Amino acid sequence: MADAYSVKSGEETWEPFAAGKVTWLRNDDDVQAGIWLCTTAEQPDVHEAVFEANETVHILEGRVRVEIEDGPTVELGAGDSASFVKGTLGRWTLLEDVKEFFVYS
């Protein structure tokens, strides 16, 4: 088992994701973490999904709106972070192409 995980900019290995692509920093039974890239062309409409795990995000570039069913709507831009609870229904809208660091726990 590795004691440290790292990805250096320019050395990422990208994989297709539900929309866009992802590079994994860590992807095991305990934690999934990585960087997600997605364009408004790849996800032009509202994406509705139930959070399958607790999800924490930090927006590196771009802007996104997340509407939580029976809860708040948050707009996140570069430098903003948010955390969402497992089992919550969220509606994601990309307002700009986005680059996001995420952690599923």
Q: What is the pLDDT of residues 33-85, one digit of tens each?
A: 999 999 999 999 999 999 999 999 999 999 999 999 999 999 999 999 999 99
pLDDT computed for residue 73 by the predictor: 96
Q: Is residue 5 scored above 70 in pLDDT?
A: no
pTM of the model: 0.89
Burial group, residue 66, by CB count within 10 angstroms (0-12, 13-18, 19+): buried
pLDDT (mean) for 22-38 = 95
Q: Is residue 2 scored above 60 in pLDDT?
A: no
Across the strands, what pairs with 103? 33, 56
pLDDT (mean) for 87-98 = 97
pLDDT computed for residue 1 by the predictor: 47
CB 38 within 8 A of CB 94: yes
Q: How far is CA 60 from CA 2, 57, 78, 88, 89, in A?
A: 26, 9, 5, 23, 23
Q: What is the CATH number of the domain that holds 54?
A: 2.60.120.10
Backbone dihedral angles phi then psi of residue 82, each to the nearest 5 degrees:
-155, 160
Examine residue 67 and state whether it is found in any structural domain, yes or no.
Answer: yes
How many structural domains comprise the chain?
1
Q: Which domain holds residue 78?
A: 32-104
